[in-house]
Structure 1
Amino acid sequence: MTLTLDLPEHLAATDRALIAALAERNLADHGDGLLGLVLSGSAGRGLATDRSDLDVLVVLSDEAAAERTTAHSSEVDEIPWSRSELDTVGTFGTEDWWCRWSCAWAPVLLDRTDGALADAVRRQATLSPEEADGVLIDHDRLDGWLNFAYRALKGDRDGRSLETRLDAAESVPWLLDVVFAMAGRVRPYNKYLPWELRTHPLEGWPADDLLGLVERTLEGDVGAIRETFARVRPACSSYDASRGHTRTTDMVQGWGEELRLFEVRAG
């Protein structure tokens, strides 16, 4: 049996040969237990350098995957995933959650499941409406961003520059969870943030705008925090309208008079 692979055009000939050999070897080892291949990492997203290896997710039946472990080499990381693992969607804060973005925008090279594998890969990188609510509200990412941003603003008000920079920097991961959750997407690994924002834009958050706000916030620029708040607040209203509730808006409004610090303008 010969496998037909759907390889991205950007892959070099040497990488194509490596993947073809890997596919044939897994077919020989597992037969029908080989369900598919997914190319993750830099190579899967067209960002490979001469120091990059191939991160290939080998999707196997549960029985075939039982005796497999990840195989590392200088050229290929061959990562076995059982079908059950792929179909299990990790919850926020768990180890399985942090693996979910590895499936985002990752090309499926081989799907022997009549499309079910491709659907499962997309599901890993996509938040259901209930999951998005969970990230924003139940896991406090929105409130946590407000908390660190507020602390940075207070530090600036009180002339504590180091504390301001620390709290401002601490707020950034929480902010990124918020803006991606509102879009129904898993937040990317930091390495891929600029790439994702430019190639798969977030509505209401143009790449250069959000990256600029992030960079300025990391430098302790409280003006950037206030500009970000001015975007987050209406984004909450739009998100709540799409969900048919007022949970994120209520959380913001729950800060009451403290919000005035977010609205102060220089000069």
Structure 2
Amino acid sequence: MTLSLDLPAHLTAADCALVAALAERNLAAHGDGLLGLVLSGSAGRGMATERSDLDVFVVLGDEAAAERTTAHSSDVDEIPWSRSELDAPGAFGTEDWWHRWSCAWAPVVLDRTGGAIVTALRRQATLTPEEADAVLIDHDRLDGWINFAYRALKSDRDGRPLETRLDAAESVPWLLDVVFAIAGRVRPYNKYLAWELRTHPIEEWPADDLLGLVQRTLEGDVDAVRETFVRVRAACSAYDASRGHSRTTDMIAGWGDELRLLEVRPG
């Protein structure tokens, strides 16, 4: 049997040959237990360089997957993934959570399930409304971002530039979790942040706007922190309205008078 692969047009001929050989090898080893192949990493997203290898998820039936471990080489990382694992997105903070963005925008080069792999990848890379609530509220990513932003502004007020910059920088991962959770997405790995914002925009956060705020925040620019707070608060209001609750706006309001430091530069 010869497999028909749907290879991305940006893939080099050499990489196409590597994927084809991997597919045939897995077909020979697993037969009907081979369910599909997913090309992740830089190659899957058109960002490969001459130093990039291929990251290929080999989707297998549960019995076949139990016999496999990840195989690394200089050319290909071959990562077995059982159908059960693919169909069960991990919760925030668990080991499986950190694998979820690998599924985002990753081309399926072989799907022998009639489309179920595509659906499962989309589910891995997106958040249900309940998951978004959990990231924002139950796991304190919104409150945590406000906390670091507030600490940075306090240090700036008190004339501590190093501490300002440290807390501003530490606020950024929390901010990105908030932005992507509100958008219903898993936050991308840092390497792919600019790529995702530009190729799959978030309407409320144009790429140049968000990346500019992040860059300025990393530099300890407290005006950027305040500008970001204004936008986050507006985004939370819209998010709560769409969800039919007030959980994020209530959390922000819970900061009370301390919000004044986030809203206005001290005179």
- Give me the TM-score of the superposition, normalised by structure 1: 0.99
Work out whether 1:249 is the aligned partner of 2:249: yes
Q: Is the 8 A contact 2:37 2:111 kept in 1?
A: yes
What residue number does 1:230 align with? 230
SS at match of 1:109: strand
Whether 1:115 and 2:115 are equivalent positions in the alignment is yes
1:151 maps to 2:151 = yes
TM-fit CA distance, 1:266 = 7.2
**Distance in 1 separating the partners of 2:55 and 2:266:** 48
CA distance in 2, matches of 1:132, 1:175: 14
Quote the Cα distance in structure 2 between the aligned partners of 1:133 and 1:13: 44
Q: Report the equivalent of 2:45.
A: 45
How far does the alpha carbon of each residue in 1:47-68 deviate from its partner, in whole angstroms, 9 at most, with x for none? 0000000000000000001110
Report what 1:210 is aligned to: 210
Aligned equivalents of 2:221 and 2:23: distance in 1? 50
CA distance in 2, matches of 1:2, 1:243: 48
Aligned counterpart, 1:133: 133
Q: Secondary structure at the match of 1:188?
A: coil
Q: Do the aligned partners of 2:157 and 2:266 also contact (CA within 8 Å) in 1?
A: no
Write the distance in 1 (CA, Å) between the matches of 2:38 and 2:32: 17
User: Which residue number in structure 2 is paired with residue 18 of structure 1?
Assistant: 18
- After superposition, the C-alpha distances for 1:122-163 in whole angstroms (9 at most, x for unaligned) are 110000000000000000000000000000000000001111
- Native 8 Å contact 2:152 2:164 kept in 1: yes
The residue correspondences of 1:164-175 to structure 2 (distance < 5 A) are 164-175=164-175
Runs (5+) with no aligned partner, structure 1: none
Task: Say which SS state the counterpart of residue 185 (structure 1) adopts.
Answer: coil
Give CA deviations for 1:45-102 in whole Å, capped at 9, x if unaligned.
0000000000000000000011101111111000000111111110001110000000
CA distance in 2, matches of 1:245, 1:194: 31
Q: Does 1:161 align with 2:161?
A: yes
Preserved contact between residue 60 and residue 82 of structure 2 (Cα < 8 Å) = yes
Structure 2: distance between partners of 1:206 and 1:155? 29
How far off is 1:265 after superposition? 3.7
Which residue does the alignment assign to 2:198?
A: 198
The one-letter code of the counterpart of 2:132 is: A
Three-state SS of the structure 2 residue aligned to 1:184 is coil
Look up the match of 2:260: 260
Q: Distance in 2 between matches of 1:4 and 1:122?
A: 22
Which amino acid is 2:10 matched to?
Answer: H
Matching of residue 27 in structure 1 with residue 27 in structure 2: yes
**Structure 2 gaps, min length 5:** none
Matched position secondary structure for 1:37 = strand
Q: Output the amino acid matched with 2:236.
A: C
Match of 2:95 in 1: 95
Task: Measure, in 1, the Cα distance between the counterparts of 2:148 and 2:177.
Answer: 14
User: Any idea what SS the aligned residue of 2:81 has?
Assistant: strand
Q: Secondary structure at the match of 2:131?
A: helix
CA distance in 2, matches of 1:242, 1:203: 15
Identical pairs, percent = 84
SS at match of 2:39: strand
- Which aligned runs of 4 or more in structure 1 are off by greater than 6 angstroms? none
